[in-house]
Structure 1
């Protein structure tokens, strides 16, 4: 299955390079992700950090003065990019998305110069079994608004990561095993804290960050990672959870967090672990678990992405996250419901 998906993705690249196949066909892959809405151009640089021998791939998004176009999936070669797309699409049970993921591009300058100084930071943790790049639309938008965003891949539970030119595939998570989930949460929080330790060593942005304005956000188990990191580390001043729980069943109670927490959940349910917390809770009607990600743009099914219009779901997610970080009033829309 993986070999067939890689072949299909590479074939799409070949068609794209010759200009054949896009005529009278579906929308170009590079137009699928909504453009960033902030006043800044966007740069991205990718690197791998080391935590006691454990590699942690990260993407760093930031405001820049340069224009450019970059592949949606950061990778050293087209073949590696196709493999990363194929593994992710298969894990996400949307294998047909692999070619579009492989050929998609973003209006991003790879390695462009940083614009600004003492910039606020957002640390991003993806959902379990989800790569860091699947939420590029949101992270790119935050960078266009003046934030430096550091997105983490949690090696071992991500479908596949590239480590110094080599692809390392993950092991599908066993979410029904509380001991496994506890161990993964501990690993994720340790990854996040290590990234915080290394902020000033990061390429392009190191030395230009405001350590007094650090937020952490995440999707699904990445959201719980953000809350747990905020509880464990005072450097994280606020946590944002996109359709995640405050505590996983059997893993333990919701952590005690004395800083602001935002939950934006899909319209189906709010996990019971949020009862009794001080979190600000919003729901996005008709959304699915993967609405905050780019999966709806790549043909994600209603089972995973809900029935909300993909562009609307993306816009509202971006506006809610930005408003929270900026301390601005929350956007008003008939699809949004707030529980104070």
Structure 2
């Protein structure tokens, strides 16, 4: 698959299918507001309706390899200059609200602080009903809420030289994914000395829980059904992308605030270097990273992990390009695709490649991870094999989801290349040519000319 002539559904299209399928399960995106009682946990501590028969053992994510332990803090941000574009909210909650997690290098005492969950129980319950694996893994079979990340909530920031600030990397998840589903790479970067900021796109993610237990559920199933009936899917994809970019630029604004105006905990204020900001994401999040870099000069480098960069439901369809496709970029862009996805086979990638090289002479790399699938670039690469062992999925079903590349090798390659990319362009560090030519250490990675 992935040839230039195949009429394949894009990752946009895959996300659309999941969200539509999830619509009947999440009541078309109903929202629990401040005036609505939050979901009550069952006697086992799980939110009601998540199913009591699921496997109860927690799944694990790989430990980071950097020199630092990892700390984290959650931020509730409200953009009072912007009404929520999805029409969500009630009196008191009409402005755009986001939940953001900040990962950072933590001191040696971080282990004394609790490890953060990948998702809250309410967010996990929504993800359980509405995710891209529901065909192979029916709801109620996996304790998604039990997974812990490597980040320790509230841990003190690692010691730094006086006045030293740390480069910043933003992360945007794929359509229909929560911000915690990229924890492996985000924790890795934080362990290597980055401030990593992950954001949920409210009313698009399956569920976003705010302080106090208020939950905003996805409205995408209803939006997609409406757009399909009206023949306006292109317009919906444009809106999703525009909302994501606006969310990201607002987060950049908030991170740049100083003193008491900063939303960061006191121990983190003055730590982010807003002059050294990069961004990456998977699927629609990768598109968001590239498009935000096109629109906002504060992003110095972007990495797109298998995300289409146009408003289309076919990889080979050049129609309805984005502005990053029409204009290209003039700053470094890393493309990492699943097996078969390159700038020769994905029309929107080809457009960005051509215009970035031709007009700007920008630094570009196109890497393929052999044997990978779309979900390889998320925590699914590590979690799905654990799910398979617990629910009895055959290897063929696992391969459909995460490909044939060994999970440990896939994770190692992503860590190496994404870290090297940001080290080079945000820190000016040499990578021994890792980004310039094939490496015997990572034979799974193919450089696409």
TM-score with structure 1 setting the length: 0.86
Q: Which residue of 2 aligns with 1:20?
A: none
Equivalent runs, 1:157-176 vs 2, <5 Å:
157-164=204-211, 165-172=213-220, 174=224
- Higher strand fraction (1 or 2): 1
In the TM superposition, residue 307 of structure 1 has moved relative to its aligned partner by 1.5
Aligned mates of 1:54, 1:335 — CA distance in 2 = 42
1:202 is matched with which residue?
263
| Contact preservation (8 Å) 1:267, 1:286 | yes
User: Could you say what secondary structure the match of 2:311 adopts?
Assistant: coil
1:49 aligns with 77
Distance change (3 Å), C-alpha of 1:171 and 1:81: closer
Residue of structure 2 in register with 1:128 after alignment:
175
Measured after TM superposition, the shift of residue 203 of structure 1 is 2.2
Shift of 1:92: 5.6
Equivalent residue number for residue 179 of structure 1: 235
1:308 aligns with 2:405: yes
- 2:188 is aligned with 1:141: yes
Cα displacement (A) at 1:72: 2.7
Aligned to 1:223: 286
CA distance in 1, matches of 2:320, 2:141: 33
Larger deviation, residues 297-306 vs 120-129: 297-306
Question: What CA distance in whole angstroms lies between the structure 1 residues aligned with 2:153 and 2:417?
Answer: 27
Deviation at 1:96, TM superposition (A): 5.8
Residue 4 to residue 113, structure 1, CA distance change in 2 (3 Å) = closer
State the Cα distance separating 1:83 from its structure 2 match.
2.1
Alpha-carbon distance in 2 for matches of 1:61, 1:244: 23
Q: 1:89·1:98 contact (CA, 8 Å) conserved in 2?
A: no
Instruction: Tell me the residue number matched to 2:377.
Output: 292
After superposition, where does 1:44-193 map in structure 2 within 5 Å? Answer: 44-52=72-80, 53-65=95-107, 66-67=110-111, 68-75=113-120, 78=121, 80=122, 82-89=124-131, 93=135, 94-95=137-138, 99-115=142-158, 116=160, 117-164=164-211, 165-172=213-220, 174=224, 177-193=233-249
Change (3 A) 1:178 1:69: same
2:342 counterpart of 1:262: no
Distance 1:84 1:262, change over 3 A: same
Whether 2:66 is the aligned partner of 1:38: answer yes
Please give the TM-score of this superposition, normalised by the length of structure 2.
Answer: 0.66
Name the counterpart of 1:7.
51
Q: Contact (CA 8 Å) 2:131, 2:177: kept in 1 or not?
A: no
What per-residue deviation string (whole Å, max 9, x for no partner) do you get for residues 247-286 of structure 1?
2324424143110000010112222222224431000001
Q: What's the counterpart of residue 273 of structure 1?
A: 348
Aligned counterparts of 1:166 and 1:203: Cα–Cα separation in 2: 21
SS at match of 1:43: strand
C-alpha displacement of 1:86: 2.1
Q: Equivalents in 1 of 2:140, 2:167: separation in Å? A: 33
Q: Hey, what's the Cα distance between the residues in 2 that align with 1:274 and 1:81?
A: 32
Larger Rg: 2
8 Å Cα contact 1:69-1:107 kept in structure 2? no
Q: Equivalents in 2 of 1:131, 1:98: separation in Å?
A: 19
Q: Is the 8 A contact 1:56 1:152 kept in 2?
A: yes
What's 1:325 paired with?
422
Q: Secondary structure at the match of 1:291?
A: helix
- Could you tell me whether the CA contact under 8 Å between 1:242 and 1:264 is conserved in 2? yes
Number of residue-to-residue matches in the alignment: 321
* Structure 2 alignment gaps of length 5 or more: 1-24, 27-46, 81-94, 313-318, 358-363, 386-397, 425-430
Instruction: Please tell me whether the aligned partners of residues 167 and 194 of structure 2 are also in contact (alpha carbons under 8 angstroms).
Output: yes
Q: Secondary structure at the match of 2:144?
A: helix
**Given the superposition, is the C-alpha separation of residues 220 and 81 from structure 1 closer, same or farther in structure 2, using an over 3 Å criterion?**
closer
The answer (yes or no) to whether the contact 1:101–1:298 under 8 Å persists in 2 is no
Whole-angstrom distance in 2 between the partners of 1:268 and 1:95: 28
Structure 1 CA distance, aligned partners of 2:195 and 2:417? 18
User: Structure 1 residues 114, 272: CA separation in 2 closer, same or farther (over 3 Å shift)?
Assistant: same
